[in-house]
Structure 1
Amino acid sequence: MSQAPVRIAVCGAGAMGSGIAEIAAQRGANVKVFDVNADALAGSEARITKSIEKLAAKGKLTSEDAAAIRGRMQWVSSLDELADCELVIEAIIEDAAIKGRLFEGLEAVVSPEAVIATNTSSLPIGRLARALSRPERFVGMHFFNPATAMKLVEVISGPATAPAAAQLVIAAAETWGKVAVPVADVPGFIVNRVARPYYAEAFTALSEKAAEAHEIDALFRAVGFRMGPLELTDLIGQDVNFSVARSVYESYFGQTRFVPQLMQSALVDAGWLGRKSGRGIYDHSEGAPPLPEIAATRAQANGAHRTAAGQLAPGELLAVDDAMVGMTAGATARSAAKRVGSEVALIDWFTPDGQGPIGYSASGPQASAAAEGVIAALGRPAVQIADRPGLIVCRTLAQIANAAADAVFEHVSDEQGIDSALRFGANYPFGPFAWADRVGRATVARTLRTIAEETGQAMYLPSQYLRD
């Protein structure tokens, strides 16, 4: 294992660069923040000083520690000041030409042994490395915003990156308290690639009127996500999220698991960008009415409901009252009802120890009443959603697992790395492989195949990695 570098430079005094610099200095590194803009440097110094003072005021740092951190930092406007740095991290505008000119300038002043890293979130490492005379010392070091709080760092090796350069970056990230995950140089790296179905499936469900937006978001919060996918796109910005979706889709030459959503495109065209514009999926304007709450079910649970609640499993139907009830395994309730000759209700995937609503679909009123009773026995509110293959939560999580399986099959990263990336870079409550193991990988593969058959869309066919 490489020893972590102690002389660090961060190029770019914006919010991301300042966050990277602060966390490195907090963990003992001597850090120089470089920018050609004097106002940006002053703003960075003020931002970091305020952050350190706030930590001291909360008792998370002693006054001596705060002073020591501040003493390890410098703000400079000349590249010559970076000559002694062991690791230089670029965190400037996402423009390959501008980055390239910076890299050329850095190579002229830093030692031949120094590692140069880029915090790019979207540009290929191999393409950026073309600006360097020694591309073997160049590596991706992708932090997530805010860098002081988010634990993930994707470490991306380009075609020419030397293993020693990647190991030095991993050592630095881990010393700074981060979870460093090695990643191949592919579009979207891990998080921006594997997480695409979280947003895409929500927009698909909304466009199909499977449920209201606030119901879709509530179903995901109920299984442990901090924010539902639609409210998260309003926070990120519909334009930003859609741009990433289109970029990933185009970079993979139209690979179907990454199809951008027309409904999101329409929001961008209308200028409904989310919180920053006052309107997106939701109305964020001042005085906007609050979203309706999902009321507790009025159904009364009986003994049959309580028994079924403890026996639910994907693909298994249980006799409840005058209907059959089970958990979704990809089929619609209508197709299941035709198969068994009885009304059927299918319950979406949920966590038994969770709180919040559980979704279900039903082929008829008797099945609906039975499902409401079973969900009441679980002590949870019920949301009836449109009868669609895989419902909402199960279909989304299965497709995320599918995208994750593709990434392992294509050697983007390993299972542990992908699970860590989604947990620490996207705040998922569990990684896609941990979820697949919980459900059963064979069950996930069968569910995806059924969704593909019932929707007629090949993008749901299970990854070869799940089939092997």
Structure 2
Amino acid sequence: MGEKTFSLPHSLDSIFPGKLHRNHSADFQENCCMKKQIGLVGYGKMGKEIFNLLAKRGCPTTVFVRGEDKAAQAKKRIDRSLERSRRKGIMTEEQFRKQRASLQFTNRLEDLASSQLVIESIVENWQQKMIILQQIEAIVSPSTVLVTNTSSFSIARLAEQLTRENRFCGLHLFYPVPLIDVVEIIRWSGTSMRVITLLSEFCTYLGKTPLIVKDAPGSVLNGILADYYIEALYILEQGVALPSKIDQVARQFFYVGPCESLDIIGMDFFIEALQHSRYEARRPERQIPDLAYKLVTQKRRGKKDSQGIFLYHSGKMVDDDLAFYRNPAQTHSRQATGDNDSWLAKRLLYAIFYGAIYSLTMGFASLETLDVGVKALLDMKQGPFSILKAIGVEKFHQESDQLTRQVGNRFGQTDVVHFLSSMFSDEAQPS
């Protein structure tokens, strides 16, 4: 943040018109999902979860996969699953026939031509995304809404590659889709408000809470979580706590600890996402630590390698030796003078505070949106701004000063204190 001066948005909860659209219109539900065709491009880990969500809600969906054999195999698997449901009486014969006909797989992109909404969910590769989005736009109707599930690439930069950019934005669902109830609708300056409204209502129909955010670039909420994850890696590099201890103390505030989460995400993917979103350039006080690169180099990317921050023995997470994580050359944190549980938990919680405040001051989303989103992703009892309000500015200032003395200047932002004073004296408060 450096010398940046924070300015209070004119209306914290009205940065975007209709911040949280909750239109349960029966007309929309009927028209959007039960009659209109949805195209899905990409059937990997995330694509499959999106497909399952669409199928569960009865949305006619055509999935594009590369390879005729792969398309045929995917269709057979879905048909077998539907057949089991029919035999068990979960669905009627008529429901079976309708759903079987409404869920299709193809290796021909042109088969998506009749789609009113196309969701792109391929690998996080800029060149591949740019090409496939251009190909989709060339075959669909001018009225089709085109969205990408990217979490790290700039929506504005992708929009520059398209000719109907006003019909394009981000629709970022979080993994695992069944467990995370929020969806980011990532808009850029050219996105039509009609498109935002339709997508908000669509998300509501799917049983998700739509959160309208600006291009950060990429996911705003993931950017906040990155501060949390990086602080955990900093603690490991200092050698003051093992992964199991960090996760244990984190559960005072969060459902899942940062070390376990990073192993699920995959350290290689985490680093790539931060690089794509230019995280280090935007947050110079928080750089990717050497430990992250060490884990990737040693093929300890996470659960997919059966070893990551944790070692995995017979399915159980086990700490490595403290010396493996410790980095004597690190410069991000001062020599630790406090390593008790409350001190570690405070570092992780305040990392979330600073990430959320940064996103608010940058105008990425409203206070309510950030509070709801972070609370949902980390399964917190209260969102960060609700907790901050309860703590109060004076205590926040005192504890930030303590963290600055003990840890580093990333917790010593005088402008943040001034911002909080203005924020909590403003009419807009967390709900």
Q: TM-score scaled to structure 2, two decimals?
A: 0.77
Question: Tell me, what secondary structure is at the counterpart of 1:182?
Answer: strand
Residue equivalent to 1:423: 375
What is the deviation of 1:46? 4.8
Distance of 1:253 and 1:207 partners within structure 2: 22
Matched, 1:168 2:198: yes
Question: Tell me, what secondary structure is at the counterpart of 1:404?
Answer: helix
Residue equivalent to 1:379: none
Equivalent residue for 2:68, pick from 23, 38, 42: 38
Matched, 1:154 2:106: no
Q: CA 1:198–1:83 in 2, change beyond 3 Å: closer, same or farther? A: same
Question: Tell me, what secondary structure is at the counterpart of 2:54?
Answer: helix
Residue equivalent to 1:391: 343
Equivalent residue for 2:292, pick from 264, 286, 290: 264
Query: Residue type matched to 2:215 in 1?
Result: D
Equivalent residue for 2:154, pick from 87, 105, 124: 124
Structure 1 residue runs of 5 or longer lacking an equivalent are 293-331, 335-360, 362-384
Equivalent residue for 2:169, pick from 121, 139, 146: 139
Distance of 2:250 and 2:88 partners within structure 1: 33
What is the deviation of 1:287? 8.9
Matches within 5 A, 1:59-458: 61-63=90-92, 65=95, 68-221=98-251, 223=252, 225-248=254-277, 250-251=278-279, 253=281, 255-286=283-314, 385=339, 391-458=343-410
Distance of 2:354 and 2:347 partners within structure 1: 10
Query: Residue type matched to 1:190 in 2?
Result: V
Distance of 2:421 and 2:51 partners within structure 1: 44
Residue equivalent to 1:465: 419
Q: CA 1:246–1:236 in 2, change beyond 3 Å: closer, same or farther? A: same
Distance of 2:130 and 2:319 partners within structure 1: 47
Q: CA 1:44–1:442 in 2, change beyond 3 Å: closer, same or farther? A: farther
> 1:173–1:179: 8 Å Cα contact kept in structure 2?
yes
Structure 2 residue runs of 5 or longer lacking an equivalent are 1-22, 321-334, 423-431
Query: Residue type matched to 2:270 in 1?
Result: N
The CA deviation string for residues 399-430 of structure 1, in whole angstroms up to 9 with x for no partner, is 21111011111110112211222233444454
Distance of 1:101 and 1:34 partners within structure 2: 15
Q: TM-score scaled to structure 1, two decimals?
A: 0.71
Distance of 2:290 and 2:145 partners within structure 1: 42
Distance of 1:426 and 1:213 partners within structure 2: 18
Residue equivalent to 1:27: 57
Residues 61-70 or 442-451, more deviating: 61-70
Identity of aligned residues (%): 28
Distance of 2:288 and 2:43 partners within structure 1: 33
Question: Tell me, what secondary structure is at the counterpart of 1:154?
Answer: strand
Q: CA 1:73–1:288 in 2, change beyond 3 Å: closer, same or farther? A: closer
Question: Tell me, what secondary structure is at the counterpart of 2:269?
Answer: helix
What is the deviation of 1:177? 0.7
Q: CA 1:69–1:125 in 2, change beyond 3 Å: closer, same or farther? A: same
Aligned residues: 375
Larger radius of gyration: 1
> 2:172–2:219: 8 Å Cα contact kept in structure 1?
no
Question: Tell me, what secondary structure is at the counterpart of 2:198?
Answer: helix
Distance of 1:57 and 1:256 partners within structure 2: 58
Distance of 2:153 and 2:315 partners within structure 1: 41
Distance of 1:205 and 1:56 partners within structure 2: 52
What is the deviation of 1:333? 11
Distance of 1:451 and 1:290 partners within structure 2: 29
Residue equivalent to 1:328: none
Question: Tell me, what secondary structure is at the counterpart of 1:127?
Answer: helix
Distance of 1:440 and 1:194 partners within structure 2: 21
Task: Pick 1 or 2: higher relative contact order, CA cutoff 8 A, min separation 6.
Answer: 2
